[in-house]
């Protein structure tokens, strides 16, 4: 994009090279085996990418949504599953701690999370509460010298590998009485109770967290009791913008694969690039992808420099994943039987992207947020 800073351009190059070398060659293997590319994840820490939005005081890069989204796009082209785990660690755990925790908590947790020595996750969704996140029932009750946590968290990315959980709990009877704790692996009463197998994003580990009289101290509470709803909503804006970057990467990878295939595959004595229907499909996919890119990075720029807008974050979260799924399906169609087979990466890209229409707020929830803001005056009458 024309407004990328020199530093952002350098990050783009570093991430593009890393993705080609460390993510793309192993993407199919990790998808087939449902395994996590832990080696690549650790190398992301060596490159300084695991604290992309966090303070340099703790080893972070101190950059914004634009830089984070660049990483998501470049990694998403190669292996969306690994990128989702990167997002869960960097945006959902590390960024939250950097934004909301005390200096003592930051000093304790951020350096190891940013270096890659530790892996993080966030516990928000529950078995009965996904879109209605503030309805969560995982409870933290006052106990001697701390709190006892009881409940379960579902669909947690990085659950099986996490050393640190940024955990939302209920501490009161009102809907917004939510309080956050940082829970460490090995804490008595805390376990990963279930591994979840998925249609896509199979190289991103997902599990259920269980808390049974899990004792935590007051020093592990982030902020005061009942302060977490606003923290959650602010971080959701950044999550929705950056997860759209993964969809942009998938869309671009589909376009690149179609251009390559159209020049190689022959039918009726000439390659596919000569057929007007193929030309139409490639032109439309490429145009739509570029439109999405400019929409997304414009929102990133405004988020970093002018305003943080929940409606715009919801719009990119709605449109990027939805349209990337269409682009992936069109790419499969262009490839015919090869597109439907696992010989080509397109079916994996389509499966992976479908998660982006569900996680971080479903398409339907995004529509509700956008519509309620646009129609707020009319809804009062």
Phi, psi of 128 (to 5 degrees): -110, 5
Active-site annotation holder among 8, 73, 208, 239: 239
Residue the block writes with tokens 């305003």: 307
Own/partner pairs, 271-278, CB within 8 angstroms, 24+ separation? 272/334, 278/334
Active site residue 239: yes
Q: Are 116 and 45 in contact (CB under 8 A)?
A: yes
Fill in the DSSP letter of residue 174.
Answer: S
**What is the rounded CA–CA span in Å between residue 150 and residue 210?**
8
**What is the rounded CA–CA span in Å between residue 370 and residue 317?**
11
Helix, strand, coil % in the chain, rounded to nearest 5: 60, 15, 25
**What is the rounded CA–CA span in Å between residue 114 and residue 120?**
10
Structure tokens of 84? Answer: 């989702």
Spell out the residues 6+ positions from residue 172 whose beta carbon is closer than 8 angstroms to its own.
225, 226
Would you name the residues annotated as active-site residues? 239
């Amino acid at each position: 994009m024309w407004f990328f800073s020199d530093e952002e351009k350098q990050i783009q190059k570093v991430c593009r090279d890393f993705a080609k070398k460390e993510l793309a060659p192993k993407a199919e293997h990790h998808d087939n085996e449902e395994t996590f590319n832990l080696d690549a994840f650790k190398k992301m820490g060596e490159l300084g990418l695991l604290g992309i939005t966090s303070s340099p005081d703790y080893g972070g890069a101190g950059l914004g949504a634009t830089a984070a989204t660049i990483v998501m796009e470049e990694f998403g082209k190669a292996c969306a599953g690994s990128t989702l785990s990167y997002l869960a660690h960097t945006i959902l755990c590390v960024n939250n701690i950097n934004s909301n925790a005390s200096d003592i908590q930051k000093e304790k947790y951020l350096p190891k999370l940013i270096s890659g020595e530790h892996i993080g996750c966030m516990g928000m969704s529950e078995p009965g509460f996904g879109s209605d996140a503030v309805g969560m029932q995982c409870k933290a009750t006052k106990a001697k010298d701390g709190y006892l946590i009881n409940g379960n968290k579902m669909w947690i990315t990085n659950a099986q590998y996490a050393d640190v959980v940024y955990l939302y709990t209920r501490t009161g009877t009102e809907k917004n009485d939510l309080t956050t704790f940082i829970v460490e692996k090995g804490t008595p009463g805390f376990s990963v109770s279930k591994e979840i197998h998925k249609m896509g994003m199979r190289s991103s580990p997902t599990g259920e967290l269980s808390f049974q009289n899990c004792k935590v101290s007051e020093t592990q509470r982030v902020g005061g009791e009942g302060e977490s709803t606003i923290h959650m909503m602010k971080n959701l804006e950044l999550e929705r913008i950056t997860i759209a970057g993964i969809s942009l990467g998938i869309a671009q990878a589909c376009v690149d694969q179609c251009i390559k295939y159209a020049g190689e595959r022959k039918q009726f004595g000439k390659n596919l690039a000569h057929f007007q229907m193929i030309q139409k499909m490639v032109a439309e996919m490429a145009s739509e992808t570029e439109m999405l890119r400019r929409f997304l990075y414009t929102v990133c720029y405004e988020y970093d420099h002018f305003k943080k807008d929940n409606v715009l974050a919801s719009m990119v979260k709605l449109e990027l994943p939805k349209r990337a799924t269409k682009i992936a399906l069109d790419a499969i169609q262009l490839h015919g039987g090869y597109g439907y087979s696992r010989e080509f990466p397109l079916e994996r890209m389509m499966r992976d992207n479908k998660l982006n229409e569900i996680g971080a707020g479903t398409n339907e929830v995004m529509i509700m947020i956008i519509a309620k803001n646009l129609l707020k005056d009319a809804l009062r009458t």
